[in-house]
Amino acid sequence: MIYLIDTENVASEWIGKFYMLGMDSPDSKIIIAYTDKSSKLSYDQISFLLQSTRQDNIYFTKCRNGKPNALDFHIIGTVTKMLLENKDEEYVIVSNDTGFDEFISVISETGAKLSRLGCNDELNKADKNEGASVNAVNVAANERPEADLKNLHSEQREFLVNNCMVPRRLAESVRISLMVSLENAETKLKNSKAKSVSGNAELKQQIIDQIKAHYNEYINIGMVVTDGQTDKNNKKLHKLQREFLNKTCKIPTSFTDPIRIYLLSGKDSTITKVYESKAKVFKANGNLKQQIIANLNKHYEEYAKLCVE
């Protein structure tokens, strides 16, 4: 796949969505289209690109005409030339500019594989694919009033009871297990010995199916993560996750819990948040972000296994 970056439109924002947009694939080629008006890349951003993909996968093309929309026409001309040379390749224009869409629509009628990815749109899409809504709220307990937390938890329990067939006495334990992951809730339900579901595998499966069917709606209510509201098993699990992030992913202890919370929204969303973070822990070490992102990418599957008891 070949990506053409509209730097006047997305500036350097696309770098923060690098993994989310699929640019880390060994077969990907990245063509950075720029003018004298394009924002400059920082040393950290250049370092990130060189660590995230092969150097020979990155190309630059400069539009020397400084008039309005010149870069847009430069990109259109570049992709048209490449399509004439290789129509079987897949091309993606990375831009939030919907003005490209009519050109893409006409070209696509010829059978060419051409599309546009807007950084903001793709972030939303990726978050939904991870089972988390962009409307979900992942915050620490001390950032919300206690009464607000109680109301939220009550609303979550009522949703589970009314929409997912969860017995009222089980609603709180299901709510807590969902804070870890959907898979964790499924495992706990299957192993549950609560009187309301004990010995009834069919009922358990029906509840699980309903939770899966309505999970995105549930997430929209708001997902508050707080050790203070979880049971002992979850506290142990969170401690295990923090230790993994510190020892295996080389994340400073002061930042392991924010990362653990970010990961509830998925790997790609977490990488974006780390990349955009202005936390003090990164100021003393310019390469720390790149190291953390690389380690999260490398060890994510191992970490994910910790989320299912």
Q: Which amino acid is at 156?
A: Q
Residue 34 forms beta bridges with which residues?
A: 62
pLDDT at res. 3: 93
**Residue range 121-141, pLDDT digits in tens:** 433 333 333 333 322 333 333
Tokens standing for residue 23:
């640019």
Name the one residue in this structure whose structure tokens are 């988390």. 132
Fill in the amino acid letter for 62: K
Please list the residues that pair with 3 across neighbouring strands. Answer: 30, 92
Higher pLDDT, 121 or 26: 26
Whether 288 contacts 255, CB under 8 Å: no
Report the distance separating Cα 160 and Cα 166, nearest Å.
6
Span 259-286, pLDDT tens digits = 887 787 678 778 877 877 777 777 767 6
pLDDT exceeds 80 at position 107: yes
- What confidence tens digit (pLDDT) does each residue in 57-106 have? 899 999 987 788 899 999 999 999 999 999 889 999 999 888 998 899 88
Distance (Å, whole) CA 124 – CA 113: 23
Quick check: 36 and 7 in contact, CB under 8 A? Answer: no
Q: How many beta carbons lie within 10 A of that of residue 138, not counting itself?
A: 18
Cα separations (Å) of 8 from 11, 32, 47, 118, 235? 6, 10, 21, 13, 46
Say which residue the tokens 């250049």 belong to.
46
Tell me which fold the domain 2-128 belongs to.
Rossmann fold (3.40.50)
Judge residue 221's burial from the number of C-beta atoms within 10 Å of its C-beta, 0-12 exposed, 13-18 middle, 19 or more buried.
Answer: middle
- Matching residue, tokens 């409307």: 135
* H-helix segments, the chain: 7-10, 13-16, 43-52, 70-85, 100-108, 119-129, 146-164, 171-180, 182-191, 201-213, 215-221, 232-247, 253-262, 267-276, 288-306
Nearest to 3 by CA among 47, 50, 60: 60
